[in-house]
Copies of this chain bind each other. A is one copy, B any other.
């Protein structure tokens, strides 16, 4: 995580750096800082907390200057504090860094032995010292950065400036995103396009192990061996106003209510009256999907939950076995890959470090092909995959993912149906499911109408410290996702279980202080779920049940709050039941007064491992 902005311009660049950091705050907001070359010195402004804290310091004592680097931090090494805030200065250089350096402890000891002192606990300051050593030995800033990164293990995107070359910034990336913004007589570096869109729409994406040098008039990219490499510039499709909050109180609320539109956009031009349209996964998709006999889905967090739902769908509709695995585990495990297995990576940002690394690792493991489900067309995951289906959620600003999840489910449903047809799903069922999927935006629209009821239920949670979420079948991942939302933004310790596992241990936790949230769609598992809920009620637990309109459940029982939802058919019900879960987490968090869009400790696009 962490966000980087840097600029070399003729004008004072502090306001540009601050605006860029604000756009990057989703990547971390433990502390913020910037360093600007002002005459013969490098001046820093740093503050614990959000960018606006640092901005207030700057406003009180502005720093002029046209060369600068800036950073908003998500703490990995060292507590959030001004001392640990970037930029870090060592000798004649200043550095901002996104990522984790793994051999920092060894390097720190070696440098201390040489007489270096360190003012922070960060791995970044160690990196700065390594670069400064090379600068002091007579290298140019670019040579010094190149030499330094060859000594470092880990992942990084960095921007570095030097007192000796005050109108120049050098950047480098490995495993974390960095791009160049190309202006008129000015150049920028940023962690993403949104950080720079207000000053330019011409972007150049850097690749792994690139080292870049920018001045006002030039951009030059080099490999780690020092030879120049060519990188093409593109016009970005992001618009500057797609990220405004409008009438909503929080981005998260806006994004929850955007879901009918986001899902409809994701379906548009991809499914018609006769089924899934041809070539929507890329023009090379047909032979690959025809051949697919197994699927491995790899993702993190919310995207992992989307993959878990997809497992139910694909196994049922296409009879293809699906394994879903957390990316950070997948990478380091000696995975068995049966013949003709498709690797599917799921990531909202397409820059999630673990997912990206897993995808790269998969190249060595003999998959049929790689397939990306992603929300950012220019992202690394998309660029490096053979096949892809873009979700069209639009920019997601709230750190707790909502519309990204339901659009990922939509993309997976398209894939499951398409594979089903290829693998002998009968035509009538296929067309019925396609019709059902097309109705998803309407069912989501309806599910959003439960908001007033959920607002009332949210009251129950204000004083609670725990909750259990229960689901069965494809609704178990929905329960997982619901509990994750509540965790992320309300800090309530919510945990999900497949309902049948309750009596194998977690039931010991149930008493009157432990509310239970259950998803009860209509279907063959309803009676089993009702038995599980009886077990909870017999122990005094308070129940909140999201029940399908058609499910035969007693309303109005004591200690049971029932919210009725029309789940549509089996295929779309997981996406539909996600909506009240999101609303519940949102309203509980609002009532508890947490920072809904930027919850503590988290960051959006997790670009460190």
Q: Which residues of A approach B to under 8 Å, CB–CB?
A: 1, 75-80, 100, 102, 300-302, 304, 312, 315-316, 319-321, 323, 326-329, 332-336, 338, 354, 465-466, 472-473, 476, 484, 487-489, 491, 493, 495, 498-501, 503-511, 514, 524-525, 527-528, 531, 534-535, 537-540, 599-603, 606, 608-609
Which residues of B sit under 8 angstroms from A321, Cβ to Cβ?
323, 336, 338
Min distance, Cβ A78 to any Cβ of chain B, angstroms: 6
A/B interface sample: 30 pairs, CB < 8 A:
A77-B534, A78-B538, A79-B539, A79-B540, A102-B527, A300-B501, A300-B504, A301-B505, A304-B504, A315-B334, A316-B334, A323-B323, A326-B498, A326-B500, A326-B501, A327-B500, A328-B499, A328-B528, A329-B472, A332-B473, A332-B528, A487-B508, A491-B509, A493-B514, A503-B606, A503-B608, A505-B602, A508-B600, A508-B602, A531-B608
Q: Is the CB of A484 within 8 A of B500?
A: no
Complex CA gap A466/B509 in Å reads 11
Complex CA gap A500/B300 in Å reads 9
How many copies the complex holds: the figure is 2
Complex CA gap A323/B510 in Å reads 30
Q: Is the CB of A75 within 8 A of B326?
A: no
Our pick among B304, B466, B487, B505 for the contact of A484 (Cβ within 8 Å) is B505
Which residues of B sit under 8 angstroms from A509, Cβ to Cβ?
487, 491, 493
Given A102-B531, A498-B326, A538-B80, CB of A493 within 8 Å of CB of B466: yes
For the complex of A and B, list the 7 residue pairs with the smallest distance between their C-beta atoms, beginning with the closest: A328-B500, A301-B504, A75-B538, A507-B601, A321-B336, A300-B504, A484-B505
Given A491-B509, A505-B487, A602-B508, CB of A329 within 8 Å of CB of B500: yes
Q: Is the CB of A602 within 8 A of B323?
A: no
Q: Which of A301, A334, A509 has the most CB of B within 10 A?
A: A509
Which residues of B sit under 8 angstroms from A473, Cβ to Cβ?
329, 332-333
Complex CA gap A304/B172 in Å reads 45
